[in-house]
Structure 1
Amino acid sequence: MLSRAILDPDHGYKNEHILEFVDRFYKVVEEDGGSTKAMVDIAITFTARTRLQSDQLPRMRFENTVIDYRDDNRHMWVFIEENDEAEDYENKQQTKKEELENEGLPPRHYPEWDYNTSTFKPDWVSLYESIHPTGNASDIDAILEKHAQLAKLLKLILDKLKPQRFVRVRYQEEGSELDLDVAIRSLIDYKCGAQPDPRINMSHKHDGRDIAVMILLDLSASLNDKPDGSDQTILELSQEAVSLLAWTIEQLGDKYAIAGFHSDTRHNVRYYHMKGYGESFDDTVKGRLAAMDAGFSTRMGAAIRHAGHYLEGQVADKKLMLILTDGEPADIDVEDEKYLISDTKKAVDELSSKGMHSYCISLDKKADDYIQDIFGAGGYTVIDHVEKLPEKLPMLFAALTS
């Protein structure tokens, strides 16, 4: 306030201390030109005179806060070198904002478990979902052709897993055919004046297999690496494996969906739909699989919770989430390695409490250090030789669901 009163003659302040020290300031300037020592003396005296005893105590509430009238001059400390783009930061922020606006869907907010306090941080993570961009479906057809021999072997195994017989489901109000015995009894009841049973139809269903599957893919930047001794990236091997797995599930007739995710801090978790439960394994879905790319980090807990939202909505005797990843949960805004591991474990426990089973296929050779803490004993497989993933993943699914 004092600085404004000195600079602005029309300040309008009536505080006696302000008015007194404004006069003293101008008097010093007139007498000796405003030396540094004189100004320091004025400042110290003003502080001593106006300081209150309560100033040394922390303020727990801020009421009627006065915003500083002056400009924010922090830009004076931003130094732009000769080859720097002066507007780079602003452009990046504007681009990110436009990308989010173009998505159309508002973010979904999810809690995150903090093991330090044993509490959830409510609405802590912002997750943006979208349909994955599409690519060339013929690339997936080429992958299936490449593994034609493996497909033949898989078909022999899958034929044994397919439900071979039908069972009758009786006492249905609507069904595929009339249940003659029930219909006759209902007719007799009607003739006798009794209330007839309206459930005179029956239907048929496959015996022994009613499964819904969610395939959740880690699409973090590390998938761009090449395993030792391989000329393919982990992403390319994952793409082949998931394509074969989709073909496998199609042969069995199970309900399934495919999604991928990555993250760039808690404010930007990306969730990509590649195949929905209502879609078939056609060129549209193949095109999305063909366009798979990798980047950023692995905030797994929020992605599992969101995928679980879709899996929970399926009507099935068994619900399985398969998670394919090449590393532990991590993000650039989290330094405590245990934090996201414990949150992912909490997300897995949440699925389990709702009747959904989680199973992780890890490509991380160091996974033994943390994976059992997340998925429990028997809830994961570590594949050391990543180049064998296209062969092992469909086999593993067949074994899990047999």
Structure 2
Amino acid sequence: MTMRGLHSPGQGEGAAVARVRSAARDPAEPELSWLLCGLAGRAMAVESLDPEAAGAPPRPVLTATHLLLPAGAPGEPVAGGASRVDAPDAAALRRAAVAHAAAHLLYSPAAQPVASLKPMGLAVVSAVEDARVERVLAALYPGVRRWFRPFIPPPPDPTDLSFTALVRRLCRLLMDPALRDDNHWVNKARDRFETQAAADLADIAAFRRLASLLANDLGQMRVRFNPLQYVVPVAYRDDNSYLWDYGDAAEPPPALALGSQGAAPQAREAAPGERQAESDEDVELGRYGYPEWDYRLARGRPDWCTVIERLPGWRADAAPLAGLRPPRLALPRARRLDRARRLRRQWEGDDIDLNAAIEVMIDRRLDLAPDARFFQRPGSQPGVCSTLVLLDLSASANDPAPQDGATVLDLEKRAAALLVGAVAESGDRIAVHGFCSDTRAAVHYYRLLDAGAPPTDAALGRIAAARARYSTRLGAALRHAGELALRAPGERRALIVVTDGAPSDIDVHDPRYLVEDAREAVLALRRRGLRVQCVALDAKAEPQLRAMFGFRGYRIVLNAAALPAALAHGYSRATLG
């Protein structure tokens, strides 16, 4: 039996609660019952559940008349890594569970309507309410702090950014304000909680609003929440079913059953854009680890980011594909006499090409017809250039462009297609790639058009169908794009970034961090001979662009119609100097 069988206490003890209580041992726990009655000031009974009962819940269950404590063999693990209440410190854990239950009975409204609360919001509101009532109880009975303190969650893994880990870190700081954490969301939650606690701990509505804001932040951070796998992080706290009324349903909806364990996980419902993306068959080409520069430590973190290189399965409709057949774009070309540059294997010239002359002598010894082009001379023939255009495919590119009805992404694709056509006619090599990121563990890198490949309908179709989502971890994408650009043939190699603003990602809250990392990536690539330029569409990001690309390394486009010309200008500066 899982926690999904529990009714809210506002509906009385239904069949599901009766099934849980049927597993309780007899006799009841008299000492704990007396303690709960004394703290709560009302008649309550504490019962222990039979350890052999099927589906025993992993956390205590509080009803209007009973506190049901789960049981099992000492130290026996349960789902989610929790420990049962008869672990080696069973007496202390049971006492803390009784005190926490008394705090709810005294200070929490029972059977609150779930209404429009989503599962993630329900879990965050419950965690904040747990911390609030313990503070109120500790103000009345200061000694109970000693009962709670031994069960503060251990120091977290800083790389674990799952919902359960973040809530556990929040509970840790709210149980002991002297502790510290390096996560922005956790610190924000702690600071706002402490501010409200100093103002009025009894203002339940204010804490409810605070928890709703925190849950909204988690949603914007795209933290995934599976209610069928979530367990209240602190071992002695109950499953919060006492707090909620699920309406007329005989059982709480599965999506709201926060204590459910053992059921098969349900997939998160994807957003429309994600659902379409998952239906396409992207081909994963490889995963690559790259360092990331931490300016606070003044050193790089080795293998900190994972770049997932993909060949997208996107396909364009006829309409956007036709829109990528634009008028020709004129590229500036510089042809100048340069005596430092020698044109070799010429029919005539002012000097002998020694390599060609040696090959002539070898051919004559082998009775082969030699190539008579063994002269060299100064010339104006430009060398072949290889350029990689890197498109920012983050979610912000879906925003409308200023002074234009199209989105920023549409403008990026249109300008890239113009440049591809112009460069292909000139004989140079050009590649178009795109990127977005979903934390440092998943920097998605899409190869839309590879260098030297002709701009066929299929290639233009991939560019036309490119989608924008997630965030902009620019440094990792620059390092990977730079490695690809440096391997391309050509006398001059260039990388042009087309973006709509400053870098960002959901697991980074210091606005300077990713800017400094991108700056280090640009400097490292330039030291290796790669010319890096940027074309941006957000004038507000100029300080960050200047920090990343240098005073002459970027250009801001204020008029959307001027983006193709600006991209051509960036190409000429990157390839011609």
TM-score scaled by structure 2? Answer: 0.49
Within the candidate set 473, 495, 498, 1:299 is matched to 473
Within the candidate set 305, 314, 321, 1:125 is matched to 305
Q: Secondary structure at the match of 1:92?
A: coil
Distance in 2, Cα, partners of 1:231 & 1:216: 23
Within the candidate set 254, 268, 271, 1:92 is matched to 268
- Displacement of 1:168 in angstroms is 3.2
Deviations 1:247-290 (A, max 9, x none): 11112211121100001111111000011124111122111111
- Displacement of 1:393 in angstroms is 2.0
**Match in the other structure for 1:143:** 323
Query: Quick check: 1:349 aligned with 2:356?
Result: no
Distance in 2, Cα, partners of 1:225 & 1:210: 37
Within the candidate set 249, 264, 268, 2:423 is matched to 249
Distance in 1, Cα, partners of 2:240 & 2:442: 27
Query: Quick check: 1:110 aligned with 2:290?
Result: yes
- Contact kept? 1:172, 1:200, Cα under 8 Å: no
Q: Which moved more, 1:76-85 or 1:206-215?
A: 76-85
- Contact kept? 1:171, 1:200, Cα under 8 Å: no
Q: Secondary structure at the match of 1:117?
A: coil
**Match in the other structure for 1:275:** 449
For 1:21-60, what aligned pairs fall within 5 Å after superposition?
A: 34-36=30-32
- Identical columns (%): 28
For 1:333-344, what aligned pairs fall within 5 Å after superposition?
A: 333-344=507-518
Distance 1:229 1:277, change over 3 A: closer
Distance in 2, Cα, partners of 1:261 & 1:396: 19
**Match in the other structure for 2:106:** none
Give the counterpart letter for 1:118 in structure 2: A
Q: Secondary structure at the match of 2:430?
A: strand
- Displacement of 1:395 in angstroms is 4.0
Distance in 1, Cα, partners of 2:551 & 2:574: 15
Give the counterpart letter for 1:374 in structure 2: M
Distance in 1, Cα, partners of 2:75 & 2:318: 62
Distance in 1, Cα, partners of 2:541 & 2:476: 20
Q: Secondary structure at the match of 1:107?
A: strand
**Match in the other structure for 2:500:** 326
**Match in the other structure for 1:75:** 231
Distance in 2, Cα, partners of 1:351 & 1:108: 17
- Over aligned residue pairs, what C-alpha RMSD do you find? 4.2
- Contact kept? 1:137, 1:286, Cα under 8 Å: no
The size of the alignment, in residue pairs, is 326
**Match in the other structure for 1:168:** 344
Distance in 1, Cα, partners of 2:433 & 2:78: 47
**Match in the other structure for 2:554:** 380
Distance in 1, Cα, partners of 2:264 & 2:561: 40
Give the counterpart letter for 1:75 in structure 2: V
Distance in 2, Cα, partners of 1:162 & 1:341: 37
Give the counterpart letter for 2:344 in structure 1: R
Distance in 1, Cα, partners of 2:455 & 2:282: 27
- Contact kept? 1:211, 1:318, Cα under 8 Å: yes
Q: Secondary structure at the match of 1:368?
A: helix
Distance in 1, Cα, partners of 2:435 & 2:320: 20
Distance in 2, Cα, partners of 1:71 & 1:93: 27
Distance in 2, Cα, partners of 1:109 & 1:401: 29
Deviations 1:297-322 (A, max 9, x none): 00000100111111111232221100
Give the counterpart letter for 1:127 in structure 2: V
- Contact kept? 1:112, 1:120, Cα under 8 Å: yes
- Contact kept? 1:133, 1:291, Cα under 8 Å: no
Distance in 2, Cα, partners of 1:33 & 1:380: 73
Runs of at least 5 residues in structure 2 that lack an aligned partner in the other structure: 1-25, 37-73, 83-229, 233-238, 247-251, 257-262, 346-352
Distance 1:220 1:306, change over 3 A: same
Deviations 1:132-177 (A, max 9, x none): 22423855663355x42xx2xx44x55x55899x94334457xxxx
- Displacement of 1:206 in angstroms is 8.1
Distance in 2, Cα, partners of 1:107 & 1:68: 40
**Match in the other structure for 2:384:** 210
Give the counterpart letter for 1:286 in structure 2: L
Distance 1:228 1:313, change over 3 A: closer
- Contact kept? 1:182, 1:200, Cα under 8 Å: no
Distance in 1, Cα, partners of 2:524 & 2:75: 48
Distance 1:359 1:211, change over 3 A: same
Give the counterpart letter for 2:267 in structure 1: N
Q: Secondary structure at the match of 1:378?
A: coil
TM-score scaled by structure 1? Answer: 0.68
Distance 1:182 1:355, change over 3 A: closer
- Contact kept? 2:385, 2:491, Cα under 8 Å: yes
- Displacement of 1:103 in angstroms is 4.6
**Match in the other structure for 1:315:** 489
